[in-house]
Structure 1
């Protein structure tokens, strides 16, 4: 049966005039193609220019396969790397780095045999390296998987001034679920990031500062890359209304406690040529930290402790909500005024029982909205990020 099939196929081939040739054969009289040498390519390519520190070293070959690669720095250390399974590409497993002079040698095998190529390159040498700290509004560094309130503000603090336009694209924020946000530069060392509205509970926020190898202006380069993720907890929002002298506390939209309060007495005083305000400024604050107890000293903001309005005292269950010393805290001495009269220097006084409950309830990033008080609106340097209207916030970006 097998023989009959073979005879049939041969007959068909004869009728159709098929010509069967061996693989790789050539037409008689046509000259044979010359063998092709392997061609080695280095990246970065040879040249006098200094090379960036962030890129890896790469060697590729055409018309052949790589048999060995060496990429040696000025100290004799070999840059580690690996070749692809097809032996066409070798890539270093680490970036080239700052301030190195490399000598590279590669050997490839092609149709003409082995080919050897060499090159040298020098990477950029920064005048100085700049690092960034990734923080929350309380100015403490973020820790992986920390939990913050829905008013969380991301802070990028550079240890020296940088070119904002160069630095901002390296600060990448990803949220799950996706939320549009924007950076706002306070100065050339500090940028804050937040969305238009409070975060949704359960949001996962990941920030990556990909600064290594990036020029940041005036001869400075980024020192390293960083990445950290945090989570947003329940929606804790406290609303302090000076019209009612009450603080209403909400947990995920549900009212869970109402606390009588006494806020700033209002007015100003000039001490040593400095004007001091005794208002609780209106605006959106967030919880920075908690202390139990905390020493409150009027001299810390320019009011002598021995003056008529001065003080130095230990306070229990204190929740700090501003960088200039505004707390929500217990004060038994002002319980008589809480709910009806403002008598404080600017803090929000509440009863010992309410203070103990509030102290245990809040976490950093929880929201405290202060409404209907006098004085100037809360400023960003005081922890007033959320007080800035969204269009103005967006204009604070280096990309605006």
Structure 2
């Protein structure tokens, strides 16, 4: 807190007399002050009833004038008043610049009134008033600074509380709580439409540094929430936006693994979307470097959603294969996986495996013998494909 200016005994006496005269004119000064504020911005006339504004302005101006002539060791009631006003204005939503303008405006009004009271009198009175200018303006500056600091502190606290409430709404949606009116409240709190296309993204937590807060990219809006083992993002899609763009954007941001849900049609379905995104993530092995879409991983998703049946499928399809030496088994399964990736082309598979295409054919025939299934029969091919997915995910887990 800045010290009050030095004053001689005569200066103190003359300033006290001048301030006393101002206090007698206080109702007139308050009226003029409020007219000036409304003239500067009509907002002043809307945020509070006029009677309440008048009482608050009268109280603040009276305390401010009394402070200028109070003993040096007296409590700074003007700063307490300014702090309280700063809190109230932040809670009422008044812009900070209007609050500061109100203090500056009141300061100029008081100073002009002091000069007006000294005009036409003996020169000593005007000289004493000018020597007191530092005292007057220091008090006004301190009041404006106290109100500003209190306003900003309150604004930050209100923003923190609002953020916590918004995050709680988002959590409730993702946890699929069936609370009446939840989606509507969340739409208002999150500034999102209650009905519209959304998707949910679940990213494995250890993959990289987490996102914080809302993220926008390529016209998409993301809202992120950290969990113990994952990071969950809600994606608001535009009318012409789809999941291809979301997947491409996420692949550019992070190396995966992650899962993207199918599109749902409103905030009330985010809980379902979160579960489906988690299912998509479960189709990724731990070393996966991509963010995958559930609608492109449906067969694997069916496998991982039924772990007991998946284990039985591996045993039924790969029973004899599992009895081979690990190195031999790995070669055969790798050949099957590459052949499937190459859409059944033995020539392309051979290029990836660095072997002759006849070698690929020989390995595939051996797989058919060990599994008692034919890769030429669609049902057998489906079983072997699903069993391979289940085996890879079980081994990774």
Please report the TM-score for the alignment, with normalisation by the length of structure 1: 0.23
Q: Which protein, 1 or 2, shows the higher relative CO under an 8 Å CA cutoff with sep ≥ 6? A: 1
**If you compute each CA radius of gyration, which structure gives the higher value, 1 or 2?**
2
More strand by share: 1
The structure that is helix-richer by fraction is 2
